[in-house]
Structure 1
Amino acid sequence: MRRIQAGNVLSAFGLGFTVPYLYVYVAQVRDLGAGTAGAVLAVFAMAALVVLPFTGRAIDRRGPLPVLVGAALLAAVGALGMGLAGSVVTVVGAAALLGAGTAVMQPALATMIVWCSSPETRTRAFATQFFLQNLGLGIGGLIGGQLVDESRPDSFLLLFSIEAVMFLVLAGIAVTVRMPRTPSIGQAPRDGNAKGGLRALLGHRAMVQLCVLGFVLFFACYGQFESGLAAYGTEAAGIEPSALGMALAANTAVIVVAQFLVLRFVERRRRTRVIAWVGLIWTVAWLFAGYAGLGHGSQAMATAAFIATYGLFGLGEAMLSPTVAPLVADLAPESMVGQYNSAFALVKQLALAVGPAVGGPMGAALHGPYIVTFVLFSLGITLLAVRLGRRLTPAQDHPYLVAKSRVVAQHKPDDQRVTV
């Protein structure tokens, strides 16, 4: 597990190095124009939508290790190609390789965490993964920002080369991992006969409800961070670019500080109740955003409210990370863990694609309707979470209580053990 988490933080560090600067690199440094830069960002996202439907079955048939290694090597080639690209064709091709490789890593790493954890330890394992991802992205972005220089294309080549090296190191670490056999999953399928498929997944009502809930979660939060909410802040609230950077930094800081503080609270409560609380917290966050842009306070108050919006989003994210991903794993049949993880990753990617397309124009021009829409989406999260809870077993919704009850039932005063 330690090796998997180390590889996870390295890949996040590499992405944080370059992703914030893709637009500037393509449009200005390579002088390919804003249209090409937009196409590169679109290809980066679309590549994930293309490969994720096939990723899950590959993971379940071949195991997550070879899939992760292949994805890391593909991403390394894409990163290096991006640093060397000088034409529209080469930069778009490199973006496709980089986007596909990084997208496949997510369900592969998630499946490895499932295989290396038990239901009792899975919550903390996914919380650690999310914490390290944000830490790696934040540190990578900070260091990358100190190295880039728009007047020196070589500085960007250095960034993309370091990113490629990080992916190669991830592949090297993955090769050394020996996946254990745990009671929580049994023997991983190795004969290529992973049963199920899309029809079986769509027939699983609880998983379908969780995917709908996941889409709303990602659409109402991550899909708005750098598009609709940023446009709303600058247009309606008059937020300066430096303040927008402070808001993003506040989001990351809250996640890093709060992740393990809220973990004990989260893991002792029903997962769907935690998700319902996140919906309420994000409702308050959107009300803060509404005050920032539509209220009549001072500019300082508007800026503070806008930064608080991002901070509240971070608190909700810290509560979700040990909740949603383990729930996907616990819903999955043993032979379909990879397919369930990939399906949920695909839902996230769809939300990240649709979110900016819907939220961007609304945030820039329709300020009041934009806030009302996402207040309603946040309340919808709470409603969907409560409905999902009715379909889950106690072991799926509250594994901590079930594990605790099992330990109490197995203990006798004379310290003898009985089978229950």
Structure 2
Amino acid sequence: MGAALRRIQLGSALSAFGLGFTVPYLYVYVAQVRDLGAGTAGVVLAVFAMAALAVLPFTGRAIDRRGPVPVLLAASALAAAGAAALGYASTVPAAVASAALLGAGTAVTQPALATMLVWCSSTATRTRAFAMQFFLQNLGLGLGGLVGGQLVDVSRPASFTMLFLIEAAMFVVLGIVVATVRMPRTAGLPAPRPGDGSAAKGGMRALLSHRAMVQLCVLGFVLFFACYGQFESGLAAYGTEAAGIEPATLGFALAANTAVIVAAQFVVLRLVERRRRSRVIASVGLIWAFAWIVAGYAGLGHGSQAMATAAFVSTYALFGLGEAMLSPTVAPLVADLAPESMVGQYNSAFALCKQLALAVGPAVGGPMGASLHGPYIVTFVLFSLGITVLALRLGRRLTPVQDQPSLAHVPSRVVAVSLPEGAEAQAATTGSGPVGRTTAATAAAGR
């Protein structure tokens, strides 16, 4: 990695470390430590999620007009202020307002960081850059949760205040690190950067006319709905109600998920980086369908409690394997589909689909997992198989290089790309956009 990319990865990992300090304990902090009640805690968590939905539609255009660095600096300052305020929030209005600031700030950092990764990488290196980010973020979240758990004490509100101040400090560090990054010009993005004053073109209409990107957004919603949207709601409710899993076991299950990601990420990367992205995503659907079947055995089978517990923990581990396969495929694909002037908008649109899935997933999966055990498992087995179908359909809309970036390293005459409708003529006459990038890559390979 270059110096700029190393600093971006460092800042991303530190911000994830700060989030790991507080997010697992936010409900307990509001409901019990500040004694504001379970209802208020639920509202605070909802506001945290809804704030992200409120700001993401505007984030992409800001990134493309101003560049990701100023947007990320503003977002890290907003998140730091929200985290610090939450550490001292003792009333309902203060807790809700602080959660809104923190939720909005953390939501904006993700597409801004993704855009910076795109600018600091090429088609050939982007897969590893996003895999590294995913690895470091999960490692940071896991370590943050582990360290935070050793520091908190429900009888001492000051211990939670310290956690939120540490989180705020991590966002300040993120801002400082990003402010020192010098964004390079790469062969993958030869046109003037938004930060250099070029106007962001396109908009939501252009994005919606790009059928491959629309299909990828739908696929992304299903991916996050069937996995992350169930981790701490439906699947947890199903495990405790149907499988008789002890609440403490949920922590071991999440730890198994993180352990598989950390242990398998770079082994998986070597296996998938030279394979078609659509086929890799389709394989994740099959793995997750099997994971849901294993979960069904845990809750609906007739084995011992030890077998049920092992099966339930294995479900989270299988999800982790699928996540490790997705990290080097989905996010880089969003970047490779985006026209040069709309990288931020494409990243924000995908982040919005993710956030919608994380908001809808618990609302649907929670009640089903708690009471409709059989239908719950069948529903999410079908959703997982739907991932496979959607991924294979998406693959038919991708160019060979978009679907398999390793082809850019071999001589090829393929120059066609997937573009928003109406953009082909402009790209053909100007040589800009993804056509220009793919042609340049092909020419370089030919040389």
TM-score (normalizing by structure 1): 0.96
> Displacement, 1:404?
3.2
Encode CA deviations 1:261-295: one digit per residue, 9 max, x unaligned: 01011101000000000000001000000000000
Aligned to 2:385: 379
Taking the aligned partners of 1:175 and 1:145, their CA distance within structure 2 comes to 31
Taking the aligned partners of 1:105 and 1:261, their CA distance within structure 2 comes to 28
1:121 is paired with a residue whose SS is helix
> Displacement, 1:242?
1.7
Taking the aligned partners of 2:445 and 2:243, their CA distance within structure 1 comes to 64
Taking the aligned partners of 1:373 and 1:76, their CA distance within structure 2 comes to 39
> Can you give the 5+ residue segments of structure 1 that lack an aligned partner in the other structure?
408-416
Aligned to 2:117: 113
> Displacement, 1:241?
1.2
Pairing partner for 1:28 from 26, 32, 40: 32
Aligned to 1:152: 156
Alignment-mate amino acid for residue 362 of structure 1: M
Tell me, yes or no, if structure 1 residue 325 matches structure 2 residue 331: yes
> Can you give the 5+ residue segments of structure 2 that lack an aligned partner in the other structure?
414-443
Taking the aligned partners of 1:200 and 1:240, their CA distance within structure 2 comes to 49
Tell me, yes or no, if structure 1 residue 281 matches structure 2 residue 278: no
Pairing partner for 1:49 from 27, 50, 53: 53
Pairing partner for 2:169 from 150, 165, 168: 165
Alignment-mate amino acid for residue 124 of structure 2: E
Alignment-mate amino acid for residue 134 of structure 2: F
Encode CA deviations 1:105-151: one digit per residue, 9 max, x unaligned: 00000000000000000000000000000000000000000000000
Structure 1 runs of 4+ with >6 Å offset: none
Taking the aligned partners of 2:10 and 2:356, their CA distance within structure 1 comes to 28
Q: What is the alpha-carbon root mean square deviation over aligned residues?
A: 1.2
CA contact (8 A) 2:130 2:331 kept: yes
Q: How do residues 114-263 of structure 1 correspond to structure 2 at under 5 angstroms?
A: 114-186=118-190, 187-189=192-194, 190-191=196-197, 193-263=199-269
> Displacement, 1:71?
0.3
1:239 is paired with a residue whose SS is coil
Aligned to 2:70: 66
Note closer, same or farther for the CA distance 1:269–1:35 as it changes in structure 2 (3 Å cut). same
> Displacement, 1:419?
5.6
Alignment-mate amino acid for residue 60 of structure 1: D
CA contact (8 A) 1:68 1:105 kept: yes
> Displacement, 1:59?
0.3
Taking the aligned partners of 1:248 and 1:68, their CA distance within structure 2 comes to 29
Alignment-mate amino acid for residue 139 of structure 1: L
Q: How do residues 264-303 of structure 1 correspond to structure 2 at under 5 angstroms?
A: 264-303=270-309
2:245 is paired with a residue whose SS is coil
Encode CA deviations 1:189-238: one digit per residue, 9 max, x unaligned: 23251001000000000000000000000000000000000000000000
Aligned to 2:11: 7
2:148 is paired with a residue whose SS is helix
Aligned to 2:425: none
Pairing partner for 1:363 from 338, 360, 369: 369
Taking the aligned partners of 1:193 and 1:199, their CA distance within structure 2 comes to 16
Aligned to 1:341: 347
Taking the aligned partners of 2:265 and 2:382, their CA distance within structure 1 comes to 26
CA contact (8 A) 1:394 1:402 kept: no
Note closer, same or farther for the CA distance 1:419–1:384 as it changes in structure 2 (3 Å cut). closer
1:102 is paired with a residue whose SS is helix
Note closer, same or farther for the CA distance 1:81–1:389 as it changes in structure 2 (3 Å cut). same
> Displacement, 1:183?
1.1
Q: Work out the percentage of aligned pairs sharing the same amino acid.
A: 79
Aligned to 1:314: 320
CA contact (8 A) 1:71 1:104 kept: yes
CA contact (8 A) 1:195 1:335 kept: yes
Taking the aligned partners of 1:224 and 1:245, their CA distance within structure 2 comes to 15
Alignment-mate amino acid for residue 119 of structure 1: T
Alignment-mate amino acid for residue 194 of structure 1: A
Taking the aligned partners of 1:332 and 1:418, their CA distance within structure 2 comes to 22
CA contact (8 A) 1:279 1:378 kept: yes
CA contact (8 A) 1:74 1:97 kept: yes
> Displacement, 1:313?
0.2
